[in-house]
Chain A
Amino acid sequence: MPKYVVGAILVVLVIFSSIFVTIVGGSTYMAEIPQSDLGKHHEEIWAHTGWNIHDPFMTGADAPTPASRGKTVFIREGCWWCHTLLPEQTQDWTYFGDPPEAGDVQGESPSLFGSDRKAPDLLHIGSRNRVKAWHYVHHRNPRAVTPGSIMPAFEYLSDEDMDALVAFLESLK
Chain B
Amino acid sequence: MSFWTKNDYAEGTAAKHFFFSAIVMLVIGTLLAIITSFRLAWPDIMPNDIPWLHFGRVRPVHVHFVIFGWIFMAFAGAMCYITPALCKTKLWSERLGVWNCWAWNVGMVVVFITLINGLTTGREYQDLIWPVDIYVLLFILLPLAVNVWMTMLNRRTEGLYVTLWFFGAAALFIILTYFIGAIPDFFPVTGLSEAYMTWWHAHNVLGLWITPVSAAIAYYIIPKISGNTLYSHKIGHLHFWSIVAFYSTPGAHHLMGAPIPEWLKSFASVSGVLIMIPALAFVVNMLMTMKDKWWMFTRNISLQWALTGVLFAIPLNIQGAFQQTRTLNWYIHGTHWIVAHAHLALLGFSTFIEIGAIYYGLPKLLKRKLYSTKLARIHFWMTAIGFLGFWISLTGGGLVQGAAKVYEIPYIESVIATHPYMVGRAIFGLLIIFAQPLFLYNMVMTARKGERVEDDAPALQPAPATA
Which chain A residues have a beta carbon within 8 Å of chain B's beta carbons? 11, 14-15, 18-19, 22-23, 26-27, 29-31, 33, 47-48, 53-54, 56-57, 75-82, 84, 86, 88-92, 94-95, 99-120, 142-143, 146, 148-156
Q: Does B346 contact A (CB under 8 A)?
A: no
In the complex, residue of chain A having the shortest beta-carbon distance to the beta carbon of B251: A22
Chain A contact residues: helix, strand, loop or mixed: loop
| Shortest distance between the CB of B63 and any CB in chain A (Å) | 10
The answer on a CB contact under 8 Å between A119 and B411 is yes
- Among A23, A27, A57, A104, contact of B119 (Cβ-Cβ < 8 Å): A57
The answer on a CB contact under 8 Å between A81 and B48 is no
In the complex, residue of chain B having the shortest beta-carbon distance to the beta carbon of A121: B411
A104 to B190, CA, bound (A): 11
In the complex, residue of chain B having the shortest beta-carbon distance to the beta carbon of A56: B129
A92 to B186, CA, bound (A): 34
The answer on a CB contact under 8 Å between A100 and B259 is yes
A92 to B402, CA, bound (A): 11
A106 to B401, CA, bound (A): 30
Residues of A within 8 A of B111 (CB): none
- Among A26, A31, A88, A151, contact of B330 (Cβ-Cβ < 8 Å): A88
Which chain B residues have a beta carbon within 8 Å of chain A's beta carbons? 39-41, 43-44, 48-51, 54-57, 59-60, 118-124, 129-131, 180, 184-186, 188-198, 200, 241, 244-245, 248-249, 251-252, 254-261, 264, 267-268, 330-331, 333-336, 338-339, 401, 405-408, 411-412, 415-416, 419, 422
A118 to B422, CA, bound (A): 11
The answer on a CB contact under 8 Å between B56 and A26 is no
Residues of B within 8 A of A142 (CB): 43
Contact (A155, B330) CB under 8 Å given A113-B258, A149-B43: no
In the complex, residue of chain B having the shortest beta-carbon distance to the beta carbon of A71: B122
A146 to B43, CA, bound (A): 13
The answer on a CB contact under 8 Å between B191 and A151 is no
Residues of A within 8 A of B331 (CB): 90
The answer on a CB contact under 8 Å between B415 and A148 is yes
A18 to B412, CA, bound (A): 43
What 5 A-B pairs come out closest when comparing CB atoms? Answer: A78-B56, A88-B257, A76-B118, A56-B129, A110-B122
| Shortest distance between the CB of B307 and any CB in chain A (Å) | 30
The answer on a CB contact under 8 Å between B48 and A153 is yes
In the complex, residue of chain A having the shortest beta-carbon distance to the beta carbon of B60: A78
A33 to B244, CA, bound (A): 30
| Shortest distance between the CB of A103 and any CB in chain B (Å) | 8
Contact (A88, B196) CB under 8 Å given A53-B130, A80-B122, A109-B189: no
Q: Identify 5 residue pairs between A and B in the complex whose beta-carbon atoms are under 8 Å apart, listed by A's number.
A: A78-B55, A92-B257, A111-B191, A150-B39, A150-B40
The answer on a CB contact under 8 Å between A47 and B257 is no
The answer on a CB contact under 8 Å between B255 and A113 is yes
The answer on a CB contact under 8 Å between A26 and B264 is yes
The answer on a CB contact under 8 Å between B191 and A22 is no
Contact (A115, B251) CB under 8 Å given A56-B130, A102-B259: no
The answer on a CB contact under 8 Å between B191 and A107 is yes
The answer on a CB contact under 8 Å between A91 and B408 is yes
In the complex, residue of chain A having the shortest beta-carbon distance to the beta carbon of B249: A22
